[in-house]
Structure 1
Amino acid sequence: MIRVRASQIFTHAVEDAVAAKKMLDEGKSFTEVVSQYSTCPSKENGGDLGWMPEDNAMALMGEISEQDQGKILGPIHSPYGYHILQITEIEKEEGEIVFNPDTPMTEVNRVLPEVHSLLFKHFHIGMPVTGYKPEETIFTVCEQHGKTVGEVLSLLNKEAGGKQVRFISPEQLKEKMKAGEPIVLLDIREQWERDIACIEEATFITRENCESILADLAPDSEIVVVDWKGDRTESFQKFLGQRGFTNVQGIEGGIDAWAEKVNTRMARYDIDEEDDDYRYEDIFDDVQ
């Protein structure tokens, strides 16, 4: 896995995008062209968008390798305008080994609550009716279902390696809000989700307003990320960490758990995660 750092020239005018690209082709420095043409708030930092995980970078830039450092892409036309991107840094990310063949499945389940669906989706290992028994390990489950231990371990360690996100329970968050503590709630969902259910105190953060919102926050601000079920908090926490924010949490179970445990009158909704046409809008993919 790699992570990518990029800078951007953004403009609403196609003429400016063409002129900016022409200057780059003539050998002008990227920061010089940013200063002249970009209307993105990142202009103040030479167009720097910070670090992004490989998956998010690929969604915007396509396949990326370590040889692409320094590469300029675009202009890319999006619903918001025209982007010219420069890949400024590429780093390898080393995955930490969390599990081994003898790890009890109860421990795997604690670290990865979604382990049942992961194993079913990737290996067609059925969900245990009564949960995992204390004596069951990754090895015994693989042996029982005729699966290769190495392949299962690779998947589980990859999933667990990124589980660095901190969570706050809906009940704890409610108490903090009731006490008037200075919490910053950032809603990273899509507009249609927010139309169905939202926490009024949360700020809706999008590609368009991301830079301006973050610019107004102190690095040690207590930030709580609002998403559907907490599944996307990890990536956004990592993004914020790369921007220097040190106190970021997600709601345990997301807004779905908030509706279940705190505001029971709030509407709830579902997402078909098997639908290939569905994806969250990646706020930090096309930051303006």
Structure 2
Amino acid sequence: MTETTISPEMTMAEILERIPSAQRALFQRYHVGGCSSCGFQPTDTLAKVCADHNILDVPEVLAYLNRAGEIDSKMTVDPTEVKAWMDAGDTLRLIDVRPAEEIAKAALPGAEPLDYSNSQQYMDLPKDSRIVFACKSGARSLDVAAYFAGHGFTAVHSLKGGLDAWRSQIDSSIPDYAL
């Protein structure tokens, strides 16, 4: 894998342009950038973000961000693998992170909607619970999976390609819809 060149003097906007998964990686590893209390501005340099959050090993952060795409890849799971887990009776929670109006347009069989109003119910789950998050395309669910990984969950996944991939690989009867 070719490393993207980033430096501590670059702004977070520049880094996110070069490494789109950098924000997920920062939150997952350092609990930085996932909410307003731990956030940063696009104009902040990486050095400032590290200093503001008491991260002393800036070279380690640089190396970690350069591996962010690989980390995202390890968190995604193909629809065929999820279907195999379900067919085998493996214990997993399939959680749809889309808003109710999207779920109403096209439901993912076996998925429960994420209850954003009661997030504590998920945080109380055993940290090794196998959870697969899904959305329409796999982008929002990857953010949610990274959030849970950042809170110590060790078996969280994002459905690669989301509902669109599930429809094309597993169940073509699920309606397509535009966002």
How far is the alpha carbon of 1:246 from its aligned partner? 0.3
Does residue 1:164 correspond to 2:142, yes or no? Answer: no
Equivalent residue for 2:63, pick from 92, 96, 114 = 96
Residues 69-94 of structure 1, C-alpha deviation per residue, up to 9 Å, x if partnerless?
A: 9xxxxxxxxxxxxxxxxxxx825572
Structure 2 residue aligned with 1:57: 35
User: Is there any run of 5+ residues in structure 2 with no aligned partner, and where?
Assistant: 1-11, 13-22
Please give the secondary structure, in 1, of the residue aligned with 2:157: strand
In 2, are the aligned partners of 1:164 and 1:234 still within 8 Å (CA)? no
In 2, are the aligned partners of 1:162 and 1:234 still within 8 Å (CA)? no
**Distance 1:60-1:97 versus aligned 2 partners, 3 A rule:** closer
Does residue 1:228 correspond to 2:136, yes or no? Answer: yes
Structure 1 residue aligned with 2:102: 193
In our comparison, the structure showing a higher alpha carbon Rg is 1
Amino acid at match of 1:57: C
The range that moved more, 256-265 or 229-238, is 229-238
Equivalent residue for 1:206, pick from 91, 108, 115 = 115
**Distance 1:162-1:210 versus aligned 2 partners, 3 A rule:** farther
Residues 23-58 of structure 1, C-alpha deviation per residue, up to 9 Å, x if partnerless?
A: xxxxxxxxxxxxxxxxxxxxxxxxxxxx7542x425
**Distance 1:60-1:206 versus aligned 2 partners, 3 A rule:** farther
TM-score for the superposition, normalised by structure 2: 0.64
Structure 1 residue aligned with 2:18: none
Please identify which structure carries the higher helix content: 2
Residues 111-151 of structure 1, C-alpha deviation per residue, up to 9 Å, x if partnerless?
A: xxxxxxxxxxxxxxxxxxxxxxxxxxxxxxxxxxxxxxxxx
CA distance in 1, matches of 2:169, 2:32: 32
Please give the secondary structure, in 2, of the residue aligned with 1:186: strand
Q: CA RMSD in A?
A: 3.4
In 1, are the aligned partners of 2:131 and 2:157 still within 8 Å (CA)? yes
Please give the secondary structure, in 1, of the residue aligned with 2:104: helix
* Corresponding pairs, count: 143
CA distance in 1, matches of 2:116, 2:54: 24
How far is the alpha carbon of 1:262 from its aligned partner? 0.9
Residues 207-248 of structure 1, C-alpha deviation per residue, up to 9 Å, x if partnerless?
A: 312212331x21111111111211223322221112211011
How far is the alpha carbon of 1:200 from its aligned partner? 3.5
CA distance in 2, matches of 1:233, 1:183: 16
**Distance 1:161-1:244 versus aligned 2 partners, 3 A rule:** closer
User: Is there any run of 5+ residues in structure 1 with no aligned partner, and where?
Assistant: 5-50, 70-88, 99-156, 272-288
CA distance in 1, matches of 2:177, 2:37: 26
Please identify which structure carries the higher strand content: 1
Of structures 1 and 2, the one scoring higher in RCO (CA 8 A, sep 6+) is 2
Q: Percent identity?
A: 22
Please give the secondary structure, in 2, of the residue aligned with 1:221: coil
In 2, are the aligned partners of 1:187 and 1:205 still within 8 Å (CA)? yes
Equivalent residue for 1:239, pick from 139, 147, 150 = 147
Matches for 1:8-157 after TM superposition, within 5 Å: 52-54=31-33, 56-58=34-36, 63=41, 90-92=53-55, 94-96=61-63
Amino acid at match of 1:228: K
Does residue 1:184 correspond to 2:77, yes or no? Answer: no
